[in-house]
Structure 1
């Protein structure tokens, strides 16, 4: 039996609301759970104190029993000082230009530098 502390989605379409629950890892995301220990409402502003509500004592209890939080819940716990923040995973390389594009840009920059030097040398 593997316990997880995770988010269970509720709310209407395009109006999400999440319960922070302790559940067995094999149970469905929105299905059966052992205990509800908080809530997360992403529709509220980041400064709103009701955006993330967690029963800290119950969270400590379940962490001591070996329940593992998901990455998002671990962020919430880190802000409360219950545990360290998860390691950040950098984005993929999809946003970076490909090798040929880098070569082409370098060649264009060199050509522009030569063109800028040539009129200066003639003057």
Structure 2
């Protein structure tokens, strides 16, 4: 099953995350199928490639709970 989830990058105590498409069995920092955005929780900066995200969601990719809330906050997912 494919998931839309966060991949951790950055240094210790300075996390940053990439929004990626991966198999659910792949380790957190493994090789992604596609990168569709990023999120920095310290500076609150984020970028989401809306076209790619909607394409993958239409293919049936399930976002994790955290990613779901980020996309909902960015008004990409309507609920």
Alignment of 1:78-93 (within 5 A): 78-84=72-78
Residues in 2 aligned to 1:78 and 1:72: alpha-carbon distance in whole angstroms = 10
Q: Note the residue ranges of structure 2 that are not aligned, 5 or more in a row.
A: none
Q: Which residue of 2 aligns with 1:59?
A: 53
Q: Note the residue ranges of structure 1 that are not aligned, 5 or more in a row.
A: 86-123
Q: CA deviation at 1:77?
A: 1.3
Select the structure that is richer in helix.
1
Give the RMSD, CA atoms, in angstroms: 1.3
Runs of 4+ aligned structure 1 residues displaced above 6 Å come to none
Could you state the TM-score of these two structures normalised by the residue count of structure 1?
0.60
Deviations 1:73-112 (A, max 9, x none): 1011112333246xxxxxxxxxxxxxxxxxxxxxxxxxxx
User: Equivalent residue of 1:32, what SS?
Assistant: coil
- Structure whose CA Rg is larger: 1
Q: Which residue of 2 aligns with 1:17?
A: 16
Report the count of equivalent residues.
Answer: 79
